[in-house]
Structure 1
């Protein structure tokens, strides 16, 4: 039998086929575009997700015989997006995505309302779903009046697959409508956001059955038997399942377009004052906390565009040995920031530039600035009582040995590098599908990948980088005052 994990990302959809022993069989992916019709706006047409799904399913059917014996599907999706449907189940407008900042005023309004942070466990960030609907009510009242269901991107794909309005806890925790402690929609939070319970999808755990694949799709895709569709997960919860992080203190640091430090928790311990996200995990009776910075490898990609050198060329020029921190400081706030600043307007900056500054100096400052930004998140997480002995490093930036050595030293934590490349959100979603379809134990399925190497902190340079981190914090305060 085989199981399918679908990673519905911001820039594309990836589908991973897995056997019943948890081994990847093969994958297919398709890209799509993000629309930016106005400054700070970020939207997508859900029809593009369906086209990408159809094309990847056709490819998997053609390439892998195991696809015919598919028995479970799990969907992981980019969180917070508002997909609005009318009473006929048709999409009313393009989905407003997680990185859309148009609802900053509405988010601030909600965040100040009594009980909102206490029930949701989080600051109401502009990227969350609830403020998006308040923006629609104010600016697109005709559309708001027609909204019969609000679905997150993964839930919309679940609807396409099953014909049912159903969502999992981990994804729904990022709406500001969920009571994250009780894992249920909150009437008080819905009232605050001017929404109704009947506009919400049915809630299930990510590892539970959400519905069955529609016969029309099963027949078209050439699948021989019934297929369970599980609740699925938000992208980071799914990634945690992909690397086996569900016990208290398990976690990862992701050097992707955005940067994430995520820690699994056995209990609900919110700390909204830190700007740490506290969400339900994709499996029952577990939560996770994470700090998020919005420009991690995106900062390096920006420098790449400016210098005309590829990111690999830039990082390779630094060599393999960790250099002491430079005098140049980089504030990685090219797209605003979440943890710990919760500031959509803050800008990036270099401080300490001189006529002798080289491209290598700029590169090293960017890597250090991103690493210091991730330490901000890590310090916020530790303040909640999280105890972390190691972190698994994932994401495109983890291909740089120099960056890994730097990050381990800045965080004071050994970094485990997984062997192979299949340990992300698509694998996590496929694992959730296997659990839902077979009733397997979570601990038997959500396991950690084999470690290829462990990057240790450079003990001789920890003090130097501690001083540099505090100088970075001082630079932030100084630049923030100017801005």
Structure 2
């Protein structure tokens, strides 16, 4: 039995599986702190507490003594800073934090070729510019740094006591030379980072440590269980779908959104802010459009209206589509395809008759429109794909998936248990790491339970055009 632990932004998710069927799952909620405009932080100790709580819930239905290996997945790009005693120096700066905009410009000026080295141009969500901001604004913290970890690797440290990461998560820092799949001393030097602070690199299925006695006492796991490196949530989501082989793609609808296409070579496309990153499996890369807001605007509107995210989608489906305002979903700026940390969300075209259902429809359509922009940014790369699989919490909504199919012109397929994608991928890597699954089997694709074929919807393309025009009109405003 294998555990997959996924450190998300809104929750920690843990599943227990044989690599195919999920026998138990649990989630523990997380909150994000924003002490200043554009800031997004979490306390890594809250990740560990949530992990322990989710493991305790799993143990109520499936004994943790049956677990034989553990895989890790997590939100990418977060900066977890530790001192020489491995104590936290400050809250983690997350993937959707925009404070380091000036540092991105400085980094690109210092290293013009960074887009080709790192697979994408500098943006404030990435880890390297965060270190530059810390050096500039918190020099006393920067002077005490001994280790920089990514979110899932902090949980790895808590579990097995080692300093390690996988190449897919490392890819999202900007410090990785994507072509050589090793740390870049040039990028580190240009971004106020001592390369000795960075963890050792492994492929996702490699065992990097064993559960310590202290972690076993805290979690109920058995000491000595092997833990594999795992991967960033995009790459582990890919593993859950067999998207480790060239020509396979998927969309992810979590707090953030991704459009992911796997390949067997490194093909950077920095001008369109399409990420070209190392995969978590050997000799594989991928291209990805990353949308900072994903399905998050639906949850945001749900909170404002005092209803559930599911009720937002239900109201959206029932709305009169001919009287829908336009919504820009950029609550935390945007990465792909705009590379614009300054743009913010907003409604346009509100009328006295605009009701809650119309607001809900505008927000849900805007999520679909971000995927239309993502598909366009890929150009011809995506035209030969037979379909895009769908994972993440937002994939539970047939209405949203059909909208995405309609507006992108892409066939969408959903598997059973699609919301457990990254955790399932991490568990499969764990099975591979202990020899229970050949590496080649990570390319096996699950059966598609539901298909969403593109269909013409009256007025939808006109609303997409208005959405794009609104961004163009507002992008110069701070």
TM-score normalised to structure 2 length: 0.92
Q: Does the CA contact (< 8 Å) of 1:263 and 1:386 recur in 2?
A: no
Q: Distance between the aligned counterparts of 2:56 and 2:393, measured in 1?
A: 28
| Segment drifting more, 162-171 vs 469-478 | 469-478
Deviations 1:83-142 (A, max 9, x none): 111122222222111122111111221123222222101111101111111111111112
Say if 1:453 and 1:29 are closer, same or farther in 2 by CA, change over 3 A: closer
Aligned match of 2:416: 419
- Which region of structure 1 is more displaced relative to structure 2, 51-60 or 403-412? 51-60
Give runs of aligned pairs for residues 330-341 of structure 1, distance below 5 A.
330-341=327-338
Gaps of 5+ in 1: none
Compute the displacement of 1:273 (Å).
0.7
What is the match of residue 428 of structure 2?
431
Give the equivalent residue in structure 2 for 1:190. Answer: 188
8 Å CA contact 2:392, 2:420 repeated in 1: no
Q: Which moved more, 1:418-427 or 1:323-332?
A: 323-332
* 1:303-333 CA-partner distances (Å, limit 9, x unpaired): 334555544334324558x987767432222
Instruction: State the distance in 2 between where 1:124 and 1:372 align.
Output: 24
Q: For residues 410-466 of structure 1, what are the alpha-carbon distances to aligned partners after superposition, in whole Å with 9 as ceiling and x for unaligned?
A: 1111111212456411111111111111163233245333222211111x448x544
Match of 2:69 in 1: 72
RMSD: 2.5
CA contact (8 A) 1:281 1:287 kept: yes
The answer to whether residue 279 in structure 2 is matched with residue 284 in structure 1 is no
Q: What per-residue deviation string (whole Å, max 9, x for no partner) do you get for residues 161-215 of structure 1?
A: 2222111000011111110111100111111112222111100011112122224
Structure 2: how far apart are the matches of 1:440 and 1:298? 35
Separation (CA, whole Å) in 2 of partners of 1:186 and 1:241: 26
- In structure 2, how many angstroms separate the alpha carbons of the residues matched to 1:349 and 1:415? 28
Greater CA drift, 306-315 or 81-90: 306-315
SS in 1 for 2:441: helix
Question: 2:210 aligned with 1:212, yes or no?
Answer: yes
Counterpart contact for 2:274–2:288, Cα < 8 Å: yes
Are the structure 2 counterparts of residues 454 and 108 from structure 1 closer, same or farther at C-alpha, using a change threshold of 3 Å? same
Question: Alignment length, in residue pairs?
Answer: 477
Q: Does 1:147 align with 2:142?
A: no
- 3-state SS in 2 of match to 1:340: coil
Q: 1:337 touches 1:344 (CA, 8 Å); kept in 2?
A: yes
Work out which of the residue numbers 326, 329, 332 in structure 2 matches 1:329.
326
Residue 475 of structure 2: SS of its match in structure 1?
helix
Q: Compare 138-147 and 33-42 and name the one that shifted more.
A: 33-42
Deviations 1:134-166 (A, max 9, x none): 111111112111111111111222222222211
Q: Which residue of 2 aligns with 1:303?
A: 301
8 A contact 2:235–2:280 mirrored in 1: yes
| Partners of 2:244 and 2:442 within 8 A in 1 | no
Which residue of 2 is the match for residue 18 of structure 1?
17
**Match in the other structure for 2:440:** 443
d(CA) in 2 for partners of 1:221, 1:97: 25
Does 1:381 find its partner at 2:378?
yes
Give the secondary structure class of the aligned counterpart of 1:25.
strand
Match of 1:254? 252
Distance (Å, rounded) in 1 between the aligned partners of 2:333 and 2:208: 36
CA contact (8 A) 1:69 1:225 kept: no
- Cα distance in 1 between the residues matched to 2:383 and 2:114: 24
Query: For the residues of structure 2 that align with 1:328 and 1:77, how far apart are their CA atoms?
Result: 35
> Is the contact between residue 393 and residue 419 of structure 2 (CA under 8 Å) also seen in structure 1?
no
The 3-state SS of whatever aligns with 1:14 is: strand
Q: Does the 8 A contact of 1:71 with 1:225 survive in 2? A: no
Give the conservation status (yes or no) of the 8 Å contact 1:61–1:221.
Answer: no
User: How far apart in 2 are the matches of 1:318 and 1:42?
Assistant: 29
Work out whether 1:471 is the aligned partner of 2:469.
Answer: no
For the 8 Å contact 1:339–1:377, the answer to whether it is kept is yes
Query: Aligned ranges for residues 79-94 of structure 1 at < 5 Å?
Result: 79-94=76-91
TM-score (norm 1): 0.91
CA shift in 2, pair 1:482/1:165, >3 Å: closer
The answer as to whether partners of 2:107 and 2:191 remain within 8 angstroms in 1 is yes
Q: SS in structure 1 opposite 2:209?
A: strand
Distance 2:194 2:307 in 1: 51
Deviation at 1:391, TM superposition (A): 0.8
CA contact (8 A) 1:30 1:55 kept: yes
Aligned partner of residue 454 in structure 2, secondary structure: coil
Shift of 1:261: 1.4
Deviations 1:6-27 (A, max 9, x none): 11112332221223x5322212
In 2, Cα distance between the equivalents of 1:362 and 1:53?
A: 35
Structure 1 residues 413 and 325 mapped into 2: Cα distance closer, same or farther (>3 Å)? farther
1:31-430 to structure 2, matched below 5 A, reads: 31-65=29-63, 67-112=64-109, 113-218=111-216, 226-317=224-315, 319=317, 328-384=325-381, 387-421=384-418, 423-430=420-427
Moved more, 75-84 or 22-31: 22-31
Q: CA, structure 1 residues 467+441, in 2 after alignment: closer, same or farther (shift >3 Å)?
A: same
Q: Structure 1 22/316 Cα, relative in aligned 2: closer, same or farther at 3 Å?
A: closer
Q: Relative to structure 2, which stretch is displaced further, 157-166 or 23-32?
A: 23-32
